[in-house]
Amino acid sequence: MQQIIFVVDDSSAIRSLYKTVLESIGYRVVAFKSGKSLLDAVEAELPDLILMGAELQDTNCVDLATKVKSRPEYLLIPIIVISSTRSMDLRRNCFQAGVTDFILKNCTQKFLIERIKLILQRRETMQFNQHLAGQRFNVLIAEDSQALLALYGHMFEQMGCRPILCKDGEEAWNHLQQDSDVDLVLTDIEMPNMDGIELNHLIRSRSDFDQVPVIVVTRIDQQELLCELLTAGASDYISKPFIHEELQARVSAHLRTRLLYKEQQRLNNELQELNAYLEDRVRERTQDLHEANVETISKLAKVCDFKDLETGNHINRVKAYSEELGRAIGLSSEVVTRLGYSSMMHDLGKITTPDRILNKPGPLDADEWIKMREHSLAGASLLGDKQFFSMAREIALYHHERMDGNGYPKGLKGNEIPLSARIVAVVDVFDALISKRSYKPAWSQDEAIAELQRISDDHLDKRLVDMFVSMLDSGQLDYIRNIYPETSGSSLEIVSE
Ligand SMILES: [Fe+2]
Ligand SMILES: [Fe+2]
């Protein structure tokens, strides 16, 4: 879109020259010979830039710039004053009136064109950045001058921001307490109720406002406060009277940083969500694998069931009794679960025991006992070396060890025998005693308890037997035999040895 430049100068030669030069490089130029005609034209159409002669027939550049900038909607129109004098006073007055640049009339055409291009480009970049951001920044403004507050409001609205206007520091702080969605704070220093210094301190005392830029508006004579303000965490300052474009440029710079911060936060949040999703998937896969492993265990245990005709529901009861006893002595739920499925494979090694020994109706001879005892080592060997089966491995290997060291296969004593194997030994013996076999009837629970107590200390872990007996006496384990009733009998290799 073609950019519009208004030229105002009382010299027709100058007007004509600027018009010719600027139109030749693509701008649309409208020239005026008086300040009034310029103000009338600005009412009808907003230019992108005004090129203004310092002295006009009806006014001067300072008054004319002041009038242009007094209307909020004209605040952001850049004004370049072309002066024939180097007067520092005029220059300072022009800047105080909101002029963007001050150029000498005798400068080269090239210099003038470059300045115009630069100023227009800076304006475009600012608009482009706002467009790029695609969002309205919330700018909190604390200023006790109603006129200045209104002016800031218009300025930030023109920048695409949402201004939140507060008449003093206290109102600004109250707003921040209720709504922390603020992207930048612009504050005056001297205000009633709460000044800018206190507001800046309070903002920096809150960790969630760490990244919110605070720009302080100072007077020239308040420079000594700057060090204190900046040390207390103020991000930037601007001294009154200031050029609007300068304030706009500083605000834009801080908002760009703010945008990057928010983008980084958004990416961090996305990354966290992605991590949580991946963790869920890993958890699901781990659970799948765990369930597959447990199912494998169940199937392996069933293989033993098929082979050893007398086990019946023995394996399921051993699992349930082991879990209950493990829980009663304070094992964690994770360990209890592991103990349960691991206990099911205590006799896995019997797969390798010849059927004639396994299902022999009468007592075993010495050679047959040697073969039978090999099931401990065989079971541990079949379970391999994976961590998942480590507890099952120690149970298979050590469930025939005795507290007095007269068990097999290693002859371990007391606490040398892993706790898991000691637990399974207690419940395995109990279940064998209360189960019917071809050469022995099922013992009553009281008889089985009396036998457990008789062989505790030398054979079984007395502490575990005591706990197990108290649980049996209370009736809390009765449900297990109801769920897994006796179907045919139970192996009795431990007590019959
Ligand atoms: Fe066994
Ligand atoms: Fe058993």
pLDDT, one tens digit per residue, over 202-221 is 999 888 888 899 999 988 67
Which of 278, 303, 289 lies closest to 387 in space, CA to CA?
A: 289
Distance 173 CA to ligand 1 centre (A): 76
What confidence tens digit (pLDDT) does each residue in 101-118 have? Answer: 888 988 888 889 988 988
Span 71-79, mean pLDDT? 78
Domains and CATH numbers, the chain: 4-131 (3.40.50.2300), 135-266 (3.40.50.2300), 308-483 (1.10.3210.10)
pLDDT at 312 over 70: no
pLDDT at 59 over 80: yes
Residue pair 400/376 in contact by the 8 Å Cβ criterion: yes
Q: What percent of the chain has pLDDT over 90?
A: 51
Record the pTM.
0.50
Residues in the chain: 497
- Residue 142, strand partner residues: 166, 187
Distance 343 CA to ligand 2 centre (A): 9
What confidence tens digit (pLDDT) does each residue in 334-382 have? Answer: 999 999 999 999 999 998 999 888 888 788 899 999 999 999 999 999 9
Please give the single-letter amino acid code of residue 469: V
Ligand in nearest proximity to the CA of 318:
2
Distance 311 CA to ligand 2 centre (A): 8
The residue with tokens 């290997």 is: 397
Distance 424 CA to ligand 2 centre (A): 8
Span of 10-24, 45-59, 181-195, 288-302 with lowest mean pLDDT:
288-302
Distance 458 CA to ligand 1 centre (A): 18
Per-chain mean pLDDT for the chain = 87
DSSP state of 443: P
Q: How far is CA 127 from CA 78, 121, 158, in A?
A: 14, 10, 10
Q: What is the pLDDT of residue 385?
A: 87
Ligand in nearest proximity to the CA of 317:
2
Ligand in nearest proximity to the CA of 348:
1
Distance 463 CA to ligand 1 centre (A): 21
Distance 426 CA to ligand 1 centre (A): 12
Q: What is the pLDDT of residue 159?
A: 79
3-state secondary structure of 141: strand
Distance 304 CA to ligand 2 centre (A): 10
Ligand in nearest proximity to the CA of 396:
1
C-alpha 192/C-alpha 198 separation (Å) is 11
Q: Return residues with CB closer than 5 A to ligand 2 (ion).
A: 347, 428
DSSP state of 491: -
C-alpha 29/C-alpha 395 separation (Å) is 96
Span of 84-93, 159-168, 336-345, 368-377 with lowest mean pLDDT:
84-93
- Residue 296 burial by Cβ neighbours in a 10 Å radius (0-12, 13-18, 19+): middle
Distance 292 CA to ligand 2 centre (A): 24
C-alpha 205/C-alpha 232 separation (Å) is 10
Distance 347 CA to ligand 1 centre (A): 5
Distance 347 CA to ligand 2 centre (A): 6
Q: What is the pLDDT of residue 490?
A: 40
Distance 406 CA to ligand 1 centre (A): 15
Rounded to the nearest 10 degrees, what angle do helices 462-474 and 314-328 cross at? 100
Backbone phi, psi, residue 363, to 5°: -65, 155
C-alpha 445/C-alpha 432 separation (Å) is 11
Q: What is the pLDDT of residue 128?
A: 47
Backbone phi, psi, residue 253, to 5°: -60, -45
Chain centroid to Cα 348, Å, comes to 47
Distance 349 CA to ligand 1 centre (A): 8
Ligand in nearest proximity to the CA of 376:
1
Distance 41 CA to ligand 1 centre (A): 105
